[in-house]
Amino acid sequence: MQYSKIEEIGRGGFGIVYKAQGEDGDKYAVKVLNPAAFPQDDHAMLIRRFEREVRYQQMVDHPNVVRVIEHDLTTSPPYFVMPIAAGSLKDDLEADRTLGGAPRKPLFDILAGLEALHKKGLRHRDLKPANVLKFPQPDGSVIYGISDFGLTTPGVGQTSTLTGSNMAGGTPMYRPPECANNFRRATEQADIYSFGAILHDIFGGGARVPHSELTVAGALKPVVEKCTKAQPRRRYASIAALREHLFNVLDNETIYFFSREEEDVIAILKSKDNLTDEEWDRAFNLIDDNADKGVSNRNLMRALTLSHISSIFDSSPDMFQALGGLYADFSVSEDFGFDYCDIISDKAEVFFNLGDLPLKAKTALAMLELGTSHNRWRVERQFMRMAGHDCDPALAERIKMEVIASEFPFEKRMPAPRGVNSRESGSASSGVAESNGWTGVKVGYFTIAGPKGQNHDAVLPPFQVGECSWCAIADGVGSSAFAGLAARTSIAVVKQLADSTLPMAELFAFIRERLSEIAREQENEKSISTTLSVLRICGNKAFVGHVGDTRISHYRGSGVIVRSKDQTEVQNLLDGGILSKNQALRYPRRNVLLSAMSANRGYDLYEKQFAVQKGDRILLTSDGFHSKLMRRRLADISSSRVDFDDFWSAVKEELSSKKLDDDASCLALEID
């Protein structure tokens, strides 16, 4: 879409933001790189940094992170488009520092946005009121979103190429002391310091010294002081811990106790993070007594903290499981405010992560009901993380049992899927889907662990972005746990950055950068490596991006064409006429890769474009699959079975007759 600039509405470190009108008549914010503000020698660095800002902002799909609508990074100067904001938190604070005595909305929106960033492994590093934008909603409410990702980084050390090691970034009044001279030191706690400085703006005010520890008078004093400790390790360990403390301080709900014993037990909970066995026994006796009397335990559940939950798991796992079940019941017992939904979600996450199978299933369903009944996007997403494609098959079966036994309205509660409009069945390791999304497609996929037990393959079923659909397959190289991490990371980046205008070369470059970042964080560059095949279909055209020996095969009628290229030593010798096909089968180094996506080596990106039509079948496979089922055999199976379900069943049956010596994965598509 074309945009007509109306007026300049802001300037950042290296960009200008314009109010613009799109061809659809709506107003947008267009951020354009402004290289003229810097010396010519810095232009290449600025362009890379601007591109990075767009990519990182695109990675985070969250209501409290400003959305990138579209971009053009190939034009000069490059630009990207965002929704137009009605103002910023800075504007609100200048109008009324106390925000009308109602600061909770922007504060908890900021925390939700920061948490979304941190879960992607990102740090903002320039959080301040001017970078928190305000967006009125149709129902009259307001949402605040974090913007300006120009200094965002995936982790400590990444900024050496884009920000000099002695160059300070960010805004001094909101910048933590460890980043005063070197932004490589930025951790999640750097963003927490900046949030504490925003709290000081609202609850303290007045002049302050940059990079210093801050304080305010009143109830917020301990929160501000802990946020802005000089030593990062003394700040809150996570956004969840900060949010819990902040909510408890700001919560002005009056507690009406049902008994003196309840008042005493809650006083103990509020005064101590770690209870003795006798104190926990007292709390559970009260819970049982309340149940016998038909009295609600909501006051006790609200008094529980993250520290309490972790400590009882350490001291009494059986009581932990019982408490988790009670907390799941509490989660769906009444209506809660948006802010408190997030507090419940944080605690439910601990119960889910540490709980046994029944507690995991009960907690996941409680989050589904809480998220959908309260229209809380964050909690809905939490359920999808708990019970989505990566869900353990045993947990999926347990959730199914809970749904049947409790007559849980699962289909009614399930959030509408984003992307391809599909119905999927199966476990985390397999699935079959039908869709009328982009052109219409039938899909089957599975990934099976080999004899070593640890599956290093990763599959991304089709999902739609604009007029195009994307899917991918990756096979981690080597036998260490980092191999699977490399495969899953590559798939995650494809899902995050897929865009109809994104060149394959840019996508793969970003994946390589992300693998390098993880390698530095893990202090292990040799073991983080994967093969990767990506397929994008737009209308009747298909586009391939490929590195390694995963494979994309195209079946039509009785014919088959491999649309990728095996980047192996044996294939290189075959292409050069040095080996015959029979010799290649016995070649001792047939699995040696010449190219892979890795942290410490370059790669050879193979790109291909081809036409597709109705009835075509396309298979994305790992080498553990296509080393057992030859493409000619698959062509015979495909041509003899017109019905896709029959074809897919035959493929799985054929593979089941083979003895696997590696992980085996296959994603099959039929153009409908």
DSSP states of 583-650 as a string? Answer: HHHH-TTTT-BS--EESSS----EEEEEE--TT-EEEEE-HHHHTTS-HHHHHHHHHH--SHHHHHHH
Residue 452: exposure state from Cβ atoms within 10 A (0-12, 13-18, ≥19): exposed
CA distances from 623 to 85, 477, 532, 611 (A): 49, 11, 11, 25
Residues 6+ apart with CB under 8 A from 406: 365
Residue 265, SS3 per DSSP: helix
- How far apart are alpha carbons 37 and 116 in whole angstroms? 32
- How far apart are alpha carbons 214 and 196 in whole angstroms? 8
- How far apart are alpha carbons 449 and 71 in whole angstroms? 39
DSSP states of 309-321 as a string? Answer: HHHHHHH-HHHHH
CB atoms < 10 A from the CB of 658, how many?
A: 12
**Both tokens assigned to 230:** 């000089």
Residue closest to 134 by CA, chosen among 191, 170, 91, 103: 91
**Both tokens assigned to 629:** 């089922």
Catalytic residue list contains 126:
yes
Residues 6+ apart with CB under 8 A from 663: 447, 448, 449, 450, 455, 456, 457, 475, 622, 624
DSSP states of 121-161 as a string? Answer: T-B-S---GGGEEEEE-TTS-EEEEE---TT-BSSTTGGGG
- Bridge-based pairing state of the strands 559-562 and 142-146: unpaired
CA distances from 534 to 412, 511, 552, 596, 663 (A): 34, 12, 9, 14, 19
DSSP summary character for residue 174: G
CA distances from 620 to 432, 433, 627 (A): 15, 16, 13
Which of these is catalytic: 126, 342, 549, 566?
126
Residues 6+ apart with CB under 8 A from 336: 344, 370, 374
Active site residues per annotation: 126
